[in-house]
Structures are given as C-alpha cells and as structure tokens.
Structure 1
C-alpha cells in the first residue's frame, strides 16, 4: 500500500512539474515588484533585488518593476509573468514561497516553501528565498514562443481590441473613399477650368446701324458706320435736367439732358443724342457729314 502511495505521489509530481515547465516556458519575461507585501519598505533586506538575481540565475529574463522594459513587452504585457513572494512566519521558522501570475492575474506557478530557522530577519528571508527558488530551478526553464498562449492572453486582457481595430479599419476605408471622391471632384473642376481657359473670347458682332437723316435739306445723306464696343463703365450722376456721365478716374465724359421722350437724352456741347436701344445705351453724333454710333456702358 505504501509503495502504491509513493508511486502515486511520484507520478503526480512528475505530471505537475512537466505541466508547470510547459506553462512557464511560454512566457518571455518576469517582473519583480519593488516591495513585497509582507515587507514595509521598498527592497527591504534587498529581498526584491535578490529575487531578480535568482530569476536571472535560473534563466529567466527578469526586470524590477518600473525599469525600462523591452519594446515587445511594452506592446504586450502578457509576455511577462508577475512575481510575488509571500511569507508564513512562526515562532521558530521563517517560510517564503514564490508565486507567478499571468497578465490576467491567473496563477501559473507556486513554489514549495523555503524555510529558515535563523532568528535575524535578513538572514532568514535570504535563506528561505534561496531555498524556494530551488524548486523553480528544477523546472529547467527555457523560453519557447507560444503564439496561442501569448495571443490569447493579449486578447483576454483587451477584449475590445478586435472591435476597435475593426472600427478603425472601417473609418480608414470611409476616409479613403471620401479622398477619392474629393480627388475626382477636383479633377472635374480643373478640366472645366481648362476648357473655359481655352475658349476664345469673341468680340460681339458689329451691328450696322443706319440712322435716318434729320429733316434738314442742307445736310447731306448720312453714311452708315460700325458700332464700337463699350469700353469703360460710365457712372450716371444726377444734375439739373439730367445726368453727368463719369468714368473711374473720375472724369466727366458727357453731360446729358432729359428730353420729352423716355430714355432719350441730348448731349451738351455735341450734336449728339444718347438713347436706350434694347438693353443697351448708345450715343449717336455727327462727325463732319457722317453719323457715328457708339455703345455706352452706363450705370445709373
């Protein structure tokens, strides 16, 4: 019976250590806190520094909390296990054990207790911690990347990360579509602008105006001439009995007086009239024996 019980314990221990080793091998780093809970000060008795040293001694890549972590650890904290040391002290013994937890606060490994009977705390804690690490050393830790474990831990630690990535991806697609639309609209505007720039601005067709001769037998028959295109704008300013037409300088170009006919004015100092023809204003005057007609751009 005792033999069976002993064999059962050996088998259980073998399975336990194999499982523990497999689990530990999936993690690349160990983070050691600056202060263990059972101590009052940071790195009291240099116990935290000793823990970091012993982890490194047994092949682990260990860091004290707050140190400059590697880039992959900064991006994915689930690559590391967080270590802790707890104490059980009696009248005659100081007992310490090591505990390792993953990024989801799940316990991955718990060591057997290390013990010391020394009465001085510093010596007792130092000896007990070293003994607790002996069990960890027997696991022969060797980091083996395990995408399944690290990715599952990463996903479970940030459950919304996948949704956020999908949302960001959708936003990027929408922004790209908007940019393409804007590019097409810009290209259309540029093409239209080029077309307009290539259009040749033609002068309006010159209209031949034949003016009826005044009822004066002494005046020779008029000759027809071509209209001139209006040039500068003339601004009409009210004066007594009419308007003065001023250009942009400002200079008075014409003074026109009202007549008994709407939209017909006599030009002061010239043998000429200004009248509205359709939607345009024209001036007719005699130069020697020839009647000339010019279009005016008048703003009343």
Structure 2
C-alpha cells in the first residue's frame, strides 16, 4: 500500500514538473524587480542581484527591470516572465519561495520553499533563496519558441508600425505649420506704411511656458516628475528616436530641434505644449 501511494505521488510530481517545464520553456526572458515587497528597499542584502545570478545559473536570460530591454521584449512583452520572491511567516526560520508570472498575471511556476535557521538576515535570506532555486534544477529550462506568444508580438508590432507611420505624418505636418508660423513679416517702405499689419502666425494653440520635468527610467519608457516629485506623465518608447506615446492619453511627446513638444487634441483642436525635460 505504501509503495502504491509513493508511486502515485511520484507520478503526480513528474506530471506537474513536465507541465511546468513546458510552460516555462515558452518564455525567453525573466524580469527581476529592483525591490521585493517583504524588504521594501532596492536590492536589500543584495538579494535581487543574487536572484538574477541564480536565474542565469539555470539557463535563463535574466534582466533587472531598470535595464534597457531588448527590442523583442519592447515589441512583445509576453516573451518575458516576471519573477518575484515571496516570504512566508516563520517563528524560528526564514522561508522564501520564487514565483514566475506571465504578462497576463497568470502564475506559471512556484518553487519549493527554501528555509534557513540562521539568525543573521543576510545569511538566512541567501541560504533560503538558494534552496528555493533548487527547484529550477529539476526544470532543466531551455527556451523553445511558442507560436501563440510570437503571434501576439507580431500583431502588436503591426499596430506599432501603423502608429509610427501616423506619428511621422503628424510630425511632418506640424513642422510645415511651424515653418509657416516663423515666416518673416516683410517690412514695407516708409511711404507705403499707413497702419500696423497684424499677421496670424499660428495654426494651433501653443502653450510656450515650459515646465521643468525630470525623466526617470521605467520599463519601456520613462516617467516624468516635477520637483515635488509628482508623476506628471508616463511615456512609452516607439520605433522612432525621441518620439514617445503618453500613457492614458491620446497624445505624443517628441523632440523638435532643441525643444520637447507635447501634442494632443482637445475639443477637435490641435494643441501643443513645450516641455522642459531633463533626461
């Protein structure tokens, strides 16, 4: 009876491991956060750095979330798994486990619990994390392209290309409008001057009062904060240099000569605003 139960448990474990392996193998990258929730400080005890190194030890391409991401992740974020290290409560020992989620937030894999009875946090967390990562040795990870995940990126890429072409047209049109706006007013000879001549120099409403914003790098772009610091905009990279999509708004930010321009529509009117952005 004992042998029969043991065989069933082993079978369940092998099936679970095989299923998890196939899922994990679908993903090309693992993103490691700068801060784990239970520590609330970036790379405390060097645990985030150790996590990245352990993923690399077991064959993953691991990236910290503040690194410059490869082009294929930018066009298809679903190629990457997001990792996290979770702490479970324990009175006399430290317990950690590693979890992987896909771009939809589904849990793809959870490691075994790593434990340590060491009293020093630095040592305890290190030993517990290494033990938790023993689960990845069983996985024997090896990336294999999944057509479904790749197709998701292909559709996104086409959408991005369409958006980029649209931005190119809008920027070209805006440049033409500004060239017209800066056309010099011809000075009439004295004998022909009778009344001041008013010349319309703009075709869109422009706010020329620049605001000082500081760019802080985030995944796929930047967040622009003021001196408070308060997040004013979150902007995402596009396929064009110095052209960004504004998150949550039908707007773009781009560089025109030495200036940064925010452009958007309001009540069917094109509006532009000059920004002073410090990168």
Tell me the TM-score normalised to structure 2 length: 0.55
- Whether the 8 Å contact between 1:104 and 1:153 is mirrored in structure 2 is no
Matched position secondary structure for 1:138: helix
Residue by residue over 1:48-68, the C-alpha shift from the partner in whole angstroms, topping out at 9 and shown as x without a partner, is 000000000100000011101
Matched position secondary structure for 2:139: coil
1:154 to partner: Cα distance: 7.7
Greater C-alpha Rg: 1
Matched position secondary structure for 2:45: helix
In structure 2, do the counterparts of structure 1 residues 149 and 124 end up closer, same or farther at CA, with 3 Å as the change threshold? same
**Which residue matches 1:228?**
none
**Which residue matches 1:90?**
90
**Which residue matches 2:182?**
none
Matched position secondary structure for 2:72: helix
What are structure 1's unaligned runs of at least 5 residues? 173-300
Query: How many residue pairs end up in the alignment?
Result: 166
User: 1:92, 1:129 → 2: CA distance?
Assistant: 16
- Whether the 8 Å contact between 2:33 and 2:64 is mirrored in structure 1 is yes
Residue by residue over 1:198-222, the C-alpha shift from the partner in whole angstroms, topping out at 9 and shown as x without a partner, is xxxxxxxxxxxxxxxxxxxxxxxxx
**Which residue matches 2:72?**
72
Q: Could you list the runs of 4 or more consecutive aligned residues of structure 1 that deviate by over 6 angstroms after TM superposition?
A: none
Tell me the TM-score normalised to structure 1 length: 0.51
**Which residue matches 2:44?**
44
Residues 85-164 of structure 1 mapped to structure 2, 5 A cutoff: 85-152=85-152
Matched position secondary structure for 1:8: helix
User: 1:65, 1:40 → 2: CA distance?
Assistant: 16
Residue 58 of structure 2 is aligned to residue 58 of structure 1: yes
- Whether the 8 Å contact between 1:17 and 1:139 is mirrored in structure 2 is yes
**Which residue matches 2:27?**
27
User: 2:27, 2:150 → 1: CA distance?
Assistant: 8
What are structure 2's unaligned runs of at least 5 residues? 167-279
In structure 2, do the counterparts of structure 1 residues 81 and 5 end up closer, same or farther at CA, with 3 Å as the change threshold? same
- Whether the 8 Å contact between 1:29 and 1:62 is mirrored in structure 2 is yes
In structure 2, do the counterparts of structure 1 residues 19 and 154 end up closer, same or farther at CA, with 3 Å as the change threshold? farther
1:33 to partner: Cα distance: 0.1
- Whether the 8 Å contact between 2:58 and 2:141 is mirrored in structure 1 is yes
User: 1:61, 1:33 → 2: CA distance?
Assistant: 14
Higher RCO structure, 1 or 2 (CA under 8 Å, sep 6+): 2
Q: CA RMSD in A?
A: 2.5
Residue 16 of structure 2 is aligned to residue 11 of structure 1: no
1:3 to partner: Cα distance: 1.5
**Which residue matches 1:193?**
none
1:151 to partner: Cα distance: 2.8
In structure 2, do the counterparts of structure 1 residues 74 and 149 end up closer, same or farther at CA, with 3 Å as the change threshold? closer
- Whether the 8 Å contact between 2:79 and 2:149 is mirrored in structure 1 is no
- Whether the 8 Å contact between 1:103 and 1:153 is mirrored in structure 2 is no
**Which residue matches 2:277?**
none
User: 1:153, 1:18 → 2: CA distance?
Assistant: 26
User: 1:153, 1:85 → 2: CA distance?
Assistant: 27
User: 2:59, 2:139 → 1: CA distance?
Assistant: 10
1:153 to partner: Cα distance: 7.8
1:40 to partner: Cα distance: 2.3
